[in-house]
Amino acid sequence: MYILFRKHAARGGIAAFLAVLVIGGICIQSAFADSGQEKQFIRYVEFNPTLSAMERALELDIRSHEEEIPVNWVDLLAIGAASCGGNFSGFSLPYLDKTAQRLQQGETIEEITRNMPYYAYYREAYGAVLDGLVGEYEVYLPDESGEGGSWKRSYGLKAFSPIAEGWYYEGYDDFGQSRTYGYARRHLGHDMLGSVGTPVVAVESGRGEAGGWNQYGGWRVGIRSLDGKRYYYYAHLRKDHPYTPLAQEGCYVTAGDVIGYLGQTGYSLTENTNNIEIPHLHFGLELIFDESQKESDNEIWVDVYALTRLLSRHQCTVVRDEDTGEYKRAYAFREVQTSED
């Protein structure tokens, strides 16, 4: 379905046009400014690869990492999405194996997707969600004496679960459910139910972009990925002591850093109020293809339920600092920059 919205503007005698393409969950806006310059960016994303599809694509990526022709898990998922119209409900996992095999045998992505007109859209959309989550990283492991140690390099998930290792949580796919506090709206995140005080960690390295009190999210913190495409939102943090010193607006945080503590604050105009019945972390992910989307009526929030289940494979080990009472990561961590970064 192609929908064209036309708005006539008497500015300089030139009309401004707004075109929106909507096909199978795809929405790309072309805004034609008075200057004649064209601006295009994605306006809508349904991110719904199944956990099993992401696990298989990631496995193929990791397995091929040191081979002559490695495959990229986001490429595989985008090809899969383009082949099934983004509907993974009946998707055949062996398709990913066959696609990886074709790539390693020398076929190009352009050749494989020749008859898939929306591959480019899915690659950009899925890349906005996933591109920063896998790669090389190093963890510093102290030796037995505790006086030295060494960096161990690995390849795989370098992003972390929002919940620290050893802390129980549960949840279900509640994205899109109705919420009524303040006004009727859809729930644009995933609620991870746990105990008050559970350490909350940064999923990805980035910079603090928002913090403080919000009547809906209570004590909350927002972290923007370094490539600017992902905005991670952590809400309903603990009353009285919601944050660690790392959770500061404008400050850099490393993936796995403890940034705060799970709680039940929010649903109140009064700061530091517990009005959330069940303690949980509200974890949300907003995609940003253009800065005009960041705080607007056209924000893109995606369902992260399956993604959080995938990230649970990589939880950060934390320890309690006896002097400050704060939790912190047990081992130093650093990402390895490559020529592609």
Number of domains in the chain: 3
Question: 296: domain CATH number?
Answer: 2.70.70.10
Q: Is the dihedral of CA 288, 289, 290, 292 positive or negative?
A: negative
- Tokens at residue 7, please? 């708005």
Helix (H, G, I), strand (E, B) or coil at 27: strand
User: Is the confidence at residue 76, as pLDDT, over 60?
Assistant: yes
- The answer to whether residue 323 is domain-embedded is yes
Q: What's the chain's Rg over C-alpha atoms?
A: 22
Q: Looking at residue 248, what is its pLDDT?
A: 86
Q: Are residue 176 and residue 304 in the same domain, yes or no?
A: yes
**Domain end position, chosen among 84, 104, 131:** 131
- The answer to whether residue 252 is domain-embedded is yes
- The answer to whether residue 246 is domain-embedded is yes
Q: Looking at residue 148, what is its pLDDT?
A: 86
- The answer to whether residue 199 is domain-embedded is yes
- Tokens at residue 83, please? 């082949």
Q: Looking at residue 163, what is its pLDDT?
A: 98
3-state secondary structure 104-121: HCCCCHHHHCCCCCCHHH
The pLDDT tens digits of the residues spanning 231-283 come to 999 999 999 999 999 998 889 999 999 999 999 999 999 999 999 999 999 99
Q: Looking at residue 20, what is its pLDDT?
A: 43
- The answer to whether residue 121 is domain-embedded is yes
Q: Looking at residue 35, what is its pLDDT?
A: 45
Q: Are residue 21 and residue 58 in the same domain, yes or no?
A: no
Domain span at residue 101 reads 51-131
341 confidence band (pLDDT: 50, 70, 90): low
**Domain end position, chosen among 78, 109, 131:** 131
DSSP string, 103-170: HHTT--HHHHTTT-TTHHHHHHHHHHHHTTSEEEEEEEEE-TTSS-EEEEEEEEE-S--SB-TT--EE
Mean confidence (pLDDT) of the chain: 89
